[in-house]
């Protein structure tokens, strides 16, 4: 896998949805994508946050967060690190990208879908150009979306 043509190499991570990237000679970045099926319950937010921290996930892409603007603010306030998301309603859609505190990331651009389907971060990861995207696609065939 290349990161903006930067020569990043895909490497296998833990079983499940975990993926890692190799950047340079010895630098690995762990990435997790997770359909959380709603984050309106504070206990679930704590559980997800604890899991990400316990497994030392650098980049976490969340789908189906089901957050509204106010609850997204609470998620941001409770996360130690970078947090961006697209919200829609308490019952549908919503995505987020969480980056571990201390990760060498600099955000240059954020694109948020007003319908809560995607959030895109453009920036530099370990001084290399990188784009991170969390997408929750429609559950019906919609060629216009993709």
Q: Which residues are annotated as a binding site?
A: 35, 64
Annotated binding site for Mg(2+): 35, 64
Query: What percent of the chain is helix, strand and coil (3-state, nearest 5)?
Result: 15, 40, 40
Task: Say if strands 18-23 and 27-35 run parallel, antiparallel, or are unpaired.
Answer: antiparallel
> Which of 88, 27, 46, 26 lies closest to 63, judged by CA?
88
Using CA atoms, how far apart are residues 132 and 39, in angstroms rounded to an integer?
A: 21
């Amino acid at each position: 896998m290349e990161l903006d043509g930067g020569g990043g190499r895909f490497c296998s991570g833990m079983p499940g949805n975990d993926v890692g990237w190799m950047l340079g000679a010895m630098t690995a970045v762990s990435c997790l994508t997770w359909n959380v099926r709603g984050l309106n319950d504070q206990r679930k937010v704590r559980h997800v946050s604890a899991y990400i921290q316990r497994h030392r996930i650098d980049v976490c892409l969340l789908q189906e967060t089901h957050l509204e603007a106010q609850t997204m603010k609470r998620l941001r306030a409770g996360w130690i690190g970078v947090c961006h998301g697209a919200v829609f309603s308490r019952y549908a859609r919503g995505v987020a990208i969480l980056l571990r505190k201390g990760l060498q990331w600099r955000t240059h651009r954020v694109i948020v879908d007003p319908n809560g389907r995607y959030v895109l971060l453009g920036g530099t990861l370990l001084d290399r150009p990188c784009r991170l995207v969390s997408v929750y696609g429609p559950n019906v065939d919609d060629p216009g979306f993709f």
